Chain A
Amino acid sequence: MPDSNLFSNYRSQSSQAYKALGPINIKSDEFKYTSLDSFSFEKHSSDKVSKLVTLKNADEMFPGVKIIRLSSSSSEVEVHGDLLSGSARAYSLDHMGSDFEDLLQRIGPVPERLQSDLFANWVAGKSSHEILIKVEKNAVIEEPIHIIHRLDSTLLNHRVCVFVEEGAQCSIVEEYRMSNEPADAKGIPPQVSSLVQVYAEQNSNLSWVQIQKMPDNVTSVMRTYVEAADNAKVEGAQICLGSATSHYHSEFNSVGKGSEIDMICAFQGTKKRHCDFFVRNSHPAPNTLSCTRVINVVDDESTAVFNGMIEIPKNAPGADATHAAKSLVLSGKATIQSNPKLEISTDDVKCAHGSSISSIDPEQLYYLQSRGISKIDAESIIVNSFMNPALDRISIEGVRSHYKGLVSKNRLSSNLDTDTEA
């Protein structure tokens, strides 16, 4: 018999796991460089609104596009796209019936690789909104699906699951942004946390980009699990352009033979912003390919950390894995930490990891200036060129140009006290 309470049970399990895990081990590799002391698990009230699902026909605004919106007093999530065509659908996980039991079991309380992660369990147990995007078998979704997570006051705590079924193709752009500058609630800084689970089934093709641009008083903790089945291809980016402190833990899992996962993790740091990417690429299946590029542009007193791990277990020959970190340092007070590691337990694999750190090339600056472009604009262009490989993966033109503009603005506003949002 299908268990209609399966998802509720999972939530309870995650809540209990979160309680059992206890405080963060600040000495662990993952948290060695990132203080999350200000992150409050209980002080914010999680204002859960699972019943208020608004299905809005937005034909007048965007012909052919439908919006699904879930909102509470502190946060909101909107899903834009061709969602009612029958080939791609968005659901609230809380409202999924027994027909979805198989999917729910795949989703689980949290992915196995994140079972010991305090934040993943916390989001899974306490999330205010849970969204499932399901792209039907062999469907080709031409228009990108656009998910907007909006922080309205002090807490955004969202879970997103994406299933791209066999042979399907689609593109998803996921934005984390604010409505207004969120105020501290009783001295507690606003915070954002998310758990994203992406499942690309065999022979599917997914482009997935996650962008976070929160104001300077926000702490963001992002947890991601990507799984690619046989011959599936996932290409994407995680882009961090905001928050005081951001901590990413991403698990990219090549579980199917011949699968490919190609990701870019990018951070632009200004003022005293800090971003920490912890990325693990696992290759349990044979003949898999993964490439994770990390791009950091750090200015003022910002700091960036990359902890990378490539894991290739026994009986998984033919893996080809790369971790490459590239950083542009624009200030003497900005710092970079880069720690790529390998754990290889089989022969016949190709693995590479490396880090490079540079400053703005004076010859590039001079060339641009010789064409009339002012020094400050030339620096902006060079910073953009560094970030562009990630930004160019945003498949919605308006969103892409908006964030390219923001990268330029961030550069121009470095050393200023105020943040700007277009």
Chain B
Amino acid sequence: MSDNKSLFKVSDLKVSVEDKEILKGINLDIKPGEVHALMGRNGSGKTTLSHALMGHPSYDVTCGDVVLDGESINDLEPDERAKRRLFLSFQYPTSIPGVTVANFLRASLEAVRGEEVPVREMRKLIKAEIKTLEIPEEFMNRFLNDGFSGGEKKRLETLQMRLLQPKMMILDETDSGLDVDALRLVSKQIESLRSPKRGVLLITHYQRILNYVKPDKVHILMDGKIAQSGGPELALKVETDGYDWTKKEN
């Protein structure tokens, strides 16, 4: 497949944190409409990859390139990446006491759209989304992620994703901290965002979310490198055999 048909292409990406190399040459090629799952055990570099792709200033990209919709985003600040419709759903969303969820959502939507969002429209949008995600209205007046349970945080991440309508979504362990019902609900919303124009990189430990969000490709990350790539059967093999075999084969 040629470059111009890629939605999101990561080439030979090497990333260091405090001078320690964590990612040692990652390659990914996600085409519009595709869902890629990235699996790996703890410490394999999954979260480092998600933050490096979003432009976290503490993650030093020493080599390689990240291209979104034909444009290199390597040198862009996180907000510029978000404005190009890259979205990262955080594994551990940061709390900001003093900022209400409603005000934050409006500031974010206005920033990404680059225009003012009338209060009436904002209310309408939020009302529809909170109903879908079974979030109580009082949630909007709470401070951002402050005192939220794990499940509430993940629902809010999903709500943001639905509001901001990204082109490319990176979901960093969205399934962690969710009970079975919440996982089903959140997965359904992720699945509903699937479209021929949108790409998804779904990072997870476990196969269970992949029962709801069916991946086109599965990658196994080991020690900062992609050790295996394949179809959905790869995730089933991890579920039954764990990760050790990938190391042996590699």
Q: A362-B57, A362-B58, A366-B56 are in contact. Are A372 and B108 (CB under 8 A)?
A: yes
* B206 adjacent to chain A (CB < 8 Å): no
Contacting B at CB under 8 A, from A340-395, are 361-364, 366-375, 377-378, 381-382, 384-389
Q: A371-B112, A386-B98 are in contact. Are A377 and B107 (CB under 8 A)?
A: yes
The distance from the CB of A237 to the nearest CB of chain B, in whole angstroms, is 14
The interface size bin for chain A is 20 to 34
In the bound complex, residues from chain A placing their C-beta under 8 Å from that of B23 are none
CB-based contact A364/B96 at 8 Å: yes
CB-based contact B96/A368 at 8 Å: yes
* B122 adjacent to chain A (CB < 8 Å): no
* B111 adjacent to chain A (CB < 8 Å): yes
CB-based contact B96/A385 at 8 Å: yes
CB-based contact B98/A384 at 8 Å: yes
* B94 adjacent to chain A (CB < 8 Å): yes
CB-based contact A371/B82 at 8 Å: yes
The proximity string for B residues 94-115 relative to A, scoring 1 for CB distances below 8 Å and 0 otherwise, is 1011110000100110011000
Partner of B78, one of A369, A381, A385: A369
The distance from the CB of A364 to the nearest CB of chain B, in whole angstroms, is 5
Partner of A371, one of B57, B98, B108: B108
Contacting A at CB under 8 A, from B116-170, are 143, 160, 164
* B243 adjacent to chain A (CB < 8 Å): no
Contacting A at CB under 8 A, from B67-104, are 77-79, 81-83, 88, 90, 93-94, 96-99, 104
Contacting A at CB under 8 A, from B37-87, are 54-58, 77-79, 81-83
CB-based contact B77/A369 at 8 Å: yes
The distance from the CB of B117 to the nearest CB of chain A, in whole angstroms, is 12
In the bound complex, residues from chain A placing their C-beta under 8 Å from that of B57 are 362, 366
**Residue on B nearest A389 in the bound complex, by CB:** B98
CB-based contact B111/A371 at 8 Å: yes
**Residue on B nearest A376 in the bound complex, by CB:** B79
CB-based contact B112/A372 at 8 Å: yes
**Residue on A nearest B90 in the bound complex, by CB:** A367
In the bound complex, residues from chain B placing their C-beta under 8 Å from that of A361 are 94
Partner of B108, one of A362, A373, A387, A389: A373
Most-contacted residue by chain A among B88, B98, B164 (CB, 10 A): B98
Q: A366-B56, A367-B93, A370-B88 are in contact. Are A375 and B77 (CB under 8 A)?
A: yes
CB-based contact A372/B79 at 8 Å: yes
The distance from the CB of A362 to the nearest CB of chain B, in whole angstroms, is 7
**Residue on A nearest B109 in the bound complex, by CB:** A372
CB-based contact B99/A381 at 8 Å: yes
The proximity string for A residues 10-37 relative to B, scoring 1 for CB distances below 8 Å and 0 otherwise, is 0000000000000000000000000000
In the bound complex, residues from chain B placing their C-beta under 8 Å from that of A375 are 77, 79
CB-based contact B111/A372 at 8 Å: yes
Partner of A369, one of B58, B82, B97, B164: B82
CB-based contact B79/A373 at 8 Å: yes
In the bound complex, residues from chain A placing their C-beta under 8 Å from that of B54 are 370
In the bound complex, residues from chain B placing their C-beta under 8 Å from that of A371 are 79, 82, 104, 107-108, 111-112, 160, 164
CB-based contact A366/B111 at 8 Å: no
- A389–B78 Cα distance when bound, in Å, is 28
**Residue on A nearest B54 in the bound complex, by CB:** A370
- A363–B145 Cα distance when bound, in Å, is 13
- A377–B58 Cα distance when bound, in Å, is 20
- A384–B104 Cα distance when bound, in Å, is 12
- A387–B83 Cα distance when bound, in Å, is 28
Partner of A384, one of B81, B99, B160: B99
In the bound complex, residues from chain A placing their C-beta under 8 Å from that of B111 are 371-374, 377
- A370–B94 Cα distance when bound, in Å, is 11
In the bound complex, residues from chain B placing their C-beta under 8 Å from that of A367 are 90, 93-94, 96
The distance from the CB of B208 to the nearest CB of chain A, in whole angstroms, is 26
- A377–B82 Cα distance when bound, in Å, is 14
The distance from the CB of A368 to the nearest CB of chain B, in whole angstroms, is 7
Q: A377-B107, A377-B111 are in contact. Are A372 and B164 (CB under 8 A)?
A: yes
The distance from the CB of A381 to the nearest CB of chain B, in whole angstroms, is 6
**Residue on A nearest B98 in the bound complex, by CB:** A385
**Residue on A nearest B112 in the bound complex, by CB:** A372
In the bound complex, residues from chain B placing their C-beta under 8 Å from that of A369 are 55, 77-79, 82
- A371–B57 Cα distance when bound, in Å, is 15
- A389–B164 Cα distance when bound, in Å, is 29
The distance from the CB of B64 to the nearest CB of chain A, in whole angstroms, is 20
- A385–B112 Cα distance when bound, in Å, is 21
In the bound complex, residues from chain A placing their C-beta under 8 Å from that of B83 are 372
- A386–B107 Cα distance when bound, in Å, is 17
In the bound complex, residues from chain A placing their C-beta under 8 Å from that of B112 are 371-372
CB-based contact A385/B99 at 8 Å: yes
In the bound complex, residues from chain B placing their C-beta under 8 Å from that of A389 are 98
In the bound complex, residues from chain B placing their C-beta under 8 Å from that of A382 are 96, 99
- A374–B104 Cα distance when bound, in Å, is 13
The distance from the CB of A361 to the nearest CB of chain B, in whole angstroms, is 8
- A373–B57 Cα distance when bound, in Å, is 15
CB-based contact B107/A373 at 8 Å: yes
The distance from the CB of B143 to the nearest CB of chain A, in whole angstroms, is 8
**Residue on A nearest B51 in the bound complex, by CB:** A366
CB-based contact A370/B78 at 8 Å: yes
- A248–B99 Cα distance when bound, in Å, is 28
CB-based contact B98/A388 at 8 Å: yes
The distance from the CB of A388 to the nearest CB of chain B, in whole angstroms, is 4
**Residue on B nearest A391 in the bound complex, by CB:** B98
Q: List 18 A-B contacts (CB under 8 A).
A: A362-B58, A364-B94, A366-B56, A368-B107, A369-B78, A370-B81, A370-B88, A371-B108, A372-B82, A372-B112, A373-B79, A373-B107, A374-B111, A381-B96, A384-B99, A385-B96, A385-B97, A385-B143
What is B's interface to A at a CB cutoff of 8 Å?
54-58, 77-79, 81-83, 88, 90, 93-94, 96-99, 104, 107-108, 111-112, 143, 160, 164
**8 closest pairs, A vs B, by CB?**
A385-B98, A372-B111, A372-B82, A372-B112, A371-B108, A369-B78, A367-B94, A388-B98
Give 6 A-B pairs besides A361-B94, A370-B82, A370-B90 with Cβ atoms closer than 8 angstroms.
A364-B96, A371-B79, A371-B112, A372-B83, A381-B99, A381-B107
